[in-house]
Amino acid sequence: MNNKIYTKITTHSLQEMKRNGEKIAMLTAYDYSFAKLIDNASIDIILVGDSASNVMAGHETTLPITLDEMIYHAKSVVKGSNRCLVVVDLPFGSYQGNSKNALESAIRIMKESGAHAVKLEGGSEVEDSIKRIIESGVPVMGHLGLTPQSIYKFGTYTVRAKQSEEIKKLKNDIKKLEKAGCFAVVLEKIPAKLAKELTESVKIPIIGIGAGSDVDGQVLVMHDMLGMNMKFNPRFLRRYSNLSEIIDEAVKKYIVDVKNNSFPNKDEEYN
């Protein structure tokens, strides 16, 4: 693997990576400290995902998180990032109504957080909004397949695009997003074979989550891949750490030390 060294990732670097066959690595983050760690490790894209609604705020779905809350998370992530591209999710209700509303929401995110791009869910239904945001100079990442903001329409988080109607719409939508000017698209939870076909059908990078390996890059929710939530076990998830156990062990040791009065010791006090 002889990849080009990028000192700063832009939407253009991502297109170049696709052309050169270099895979794109993307993770979510929602705060300054984790963003700094992930950026230092050379992640290509940090997504300030509306999954913050689940992993930061404890909501069951991504629907309740507000635009103000997303901007708060995005500001913190931007402060902790240097090399990576920071993309921020437009939350549910901030862009579906009409394209003027969508543009206003995107501009607030860009102006108030300092992020580099926005992401929004959907295909032809949000095409006008995507075009209007891009016309204003804001890069847009699309999101197709399983779109969690529509969970009450789908009724379940199972794999999408198994039936011919949905496959047809997906093929149509990905072309529409490319034509509208999206710089990349996330494909969530669709059959790997279809994801490969869709990836080969467009020039823009396709980032998969539960979409197999024949896409241009991968994204995972940071809390899931670090093993902070052992109850979430989808097939596509690979855990790279076991932070929930590590944290549990550390906190229990601290409690014992405090109860035993063995913390702090003489070296840990001021004279």
Rounded Cα distance, 13 and 20, in Å? 10
Amino acid at 122: G
- C-alpha–C-alpha distance, residues 114 and 118, integer Å: 11
Pick the stretch among 10-18, 44-52, 125-133, 197-205 that binds ligand KIV (CB under 6 A). Answer: 44-52
Residue among 196, 7, 132, 4 nearest 120 (CA): 132
Angle at 41 between CA 38 and CA 42, to 5 degrees: 95
Near ligand KIV in 162-201, by CB under 6 A: 186, 188
State which of residues 17, 88, 190, 209 lies at the interface with ligand KIV (CB under 6 A). 209
Told to check if 89 binds ligand KIV by CB under 6 A, we report yes
Alpha helices (runs of H) in 52-202, residue ranges in sequence order? 52-55, 67-80, 99-113, 127-135, 151-154, 164-180, 192-201
Considering the complex, state which of residue 30 and residue 134 has its C-beta at the smaller distance from ligand KIV. Answer: 30
Q: Closer to ligand KIV by CB, 50 or 178: give it.
A: 50
268 catalytic per annotation: no
Q: Which stretch binds ligand KIV (CB under 6 A): 8-16, 46-54, 158-166, 243-251?
A: 46-54
Least distance in Å: CB of 148 to ligand KIV?
A: 7
Task: State the Cα–Cα distance between residues 176 and 111, nearest whole angstrom.
Answer: 27
Q: Provide the token pair at 228.
A: 């902070």
Closest CA to 237 of 246, 227, 247, 245: 227
Torsion, Cα 221 222 228 230, to 10 degrees, reads: 30
149 binds ligand KIV (CB under 6 A): no
Minimum distance, C-beta of residue 55 to ligand KIV, in the bound complex (Å):
8
Q: Tell me the closest approach of the beta carbon of residue 12 to ligand KIV, in angstroms.
A: 22
Round the CA-based radius of gyration of the chain to a whole number and report it: 20
The least distance separating ligand KIV from the CB of residue 3, rounded to whole angstroms, comes to: 23
Of 13 and 147, which has the nearer Cβ to ligand KIV?
A: 147
Please pick, from the candidates 11, 28, 94, 218, the single residue that binds ligand KIV as defined by CB under 6 A: 28
Q: Which phi and psi angles does 89 have, rounded to 5°? A: -70, 135
Contact 39, 9 (CB under 8 A): no
Number of residues that bind ligand KIV (CB under 6 A): 11
Catalytic residue among 188, 197, 200, 245: 188
221 binds ligand KIV (CB under 6 A): yes
**Residue 44 contacts ligand KIV per CB under 6 A:** no
Residue 123 interacting with ligand KIV (CB under 6 A): no
Query: Nearest distance from residue 14's CB to ligand KIV, in Å?
Result: 15
169/264 Cα distance (integer angstroms): 62
Judged by CB, which is closer to ligand KIV: 231, or 259? 231
- Residues interacting with ligand KIV, by CB under 6 A? 28, 47, 49-51, 89, 186, 188, 209, 219, 221
